[in-house]
Amino acid sequence: MAFLSVDLQFFAQEKTENATPKKKQETRKKGQVAKSTDINTAIILLLIFIFLGLIGSFVGKKTVTFLQFMYQEYLLFQLTAENVQSLFLEITMQTVVIVAPIMLMAFLAAIFSNYLQVGFLFAPEAIKMKLSKLNPIQGFKRIYSVRAIVELLKSLLKIVLVGLVTFTILWFSIDQILILSLIPITDALSFVGTLTITMGVAVSILLIFLAVLDYLYQRYDHEKNIRMSKQDVKDEYKKTEGDPLIKSKIKEKQRQMAMQRMMQEVPKADVVITNPTHFAIALKYDGEKMDAPVVIAKGVDFIAQKIKGIAKNNEIIMVENRPLARALYEQTDIGDEVPEELFKAVAEVLAYVYRIKNKV
């Protein structure tokens, strides 16, 4: 029996259930989302090389002009403190003009690739300092884990495929490469730039294909890591919906309070119509304020007996009318007016009650 109990407890704690929407939202707030860094790298490379293809002539002209000016003018400068400072500022400005558009494109591509995967997410908890991350045992487990082996195989595959793509492009351009020393420098630079962009775009497209596969794996791994046990699902349901035992007690308390309020209205009734043993309906009618008699209390069996007991103690007239009592109980709720089809029967009962009260 003890072994069976332990076995059942093990299965209860085993994480076999998919994460609930609440669990997914909590892990997202912590920054734990399905994300592939390969997609970021691939998109950044692709957009940068496409952007270089569009502004390549501008960058090339700026670079050539800067180099010409540097070799023609700066080599003749006298090395003084003022000249070195102005030279440094000029070189910095020219470098910024050339590099800034490329860096801006890389920045925008990084934002786009992250938004494409996880949307807008602000999770300061993900960058919080945690000493548990410095645990060498956990670090050792991460290094020698299945995930680490997958990452190693993935890196080796990328190296092989990227090398194959670049080698293929270089092989088809080998004739032009061999005569680079025989053509003008501007033509050589233009060819090298075009060849570089071609290899970059081809490698980027390959990496995007591999990154999509990696993202699918990362998503599967993320869903696996946030799985819940049956006990976790039950505990979350209790936190969200409340403990069923507590909820039942609250409902029972609400019923008792409603019953108490109803019983407090019985002494205000004009008449109590009975079955006589199973049903009791208390009616009140004020010709100046009401269009029709109103049901202020009703009950069956034990509650009916309590209504009749209170009516007797307060000298409320009770009238036995089995069909009317059943019809009122089934067709009305507390606070409802008497249905139109029952007006005649109720009016006869009230007339009888008023005659008795006048006699008294």
**Residue carrying structure tokens 């019983």:** 263
202 vs 236: CA distance, rounded Å: 49
Amino acid occupying residue 237? Y
Q: Which structure tokens are listed for 299?
A: 């009950």
What residue type is 153 in one-letter code? L
pTM, to two decimals: 0.52
Query: Residues, the chain, total?
Result: 360
Provide the edge-to-edge strand list for the sheet that holds 318-320. Answer: 294-300, 279-284, 271-274, 318-320
CB 266 within 8 A of CB 296: yes
Token pair in block for residue 285 = 């009618």
- Domains of the chain are 18-119+133-238 (no CATH), 255-359 (3.40.1690.10)
Rounded-to-integer distance, Cα 214 and Cα 279, Å: 71
Question: How do beta strands 271-274 and 279-284 pair?
Answer: antiparallel
Residue 204, token pair as written in the block: 């980027």
Give phi and psi for 217, each to the nearest 5: -65, -45
Q: Are 282 and 266 in contact (CB under 8 A)?
A: yes
For CA atoms 232, 238, 240, 241, give the dihedral sign.
positive
Distance CA 19, CA 25 (A): 10
- Tell me 130's DSSP state: -
The pair of three-digit structure tokens given for residue 100, joined into one six-digit string: 């800034």
Q: Are 280 and 304 in contact (CB under 8 A)?
A: yes
Residue by residue, pLDDT tens for the chain (360 residues) are: 444 444 444 444 677 777 777 777 777 777 677 777 888 888 888 888 888 888 877 877 887 787 777 777 776 667 677 777 777 887 888 888 888 888 888 888 888 888 888 777 766 555 566 655 565 666 555 566 666 787 788 888 888 998 999 999 899 888 888 888 888 877 887 888 888 888 988 998 988 888 888 888 888 887 887 777 777 777 776 666 655 666 777 777 877 787 777 777 778 788 888 877 788 888 888 777 777 888 888 888 888 888 888 888 888 888 888 888 888 888 888 888 888 888 888 888 888 888 877 644
Residue-by-residue DSSP string for 43-63: HHHHHHHHHHHHHHHHHHHHH
Q: How far apart are CA 357 and CA 18, in angstroms?
A: 70
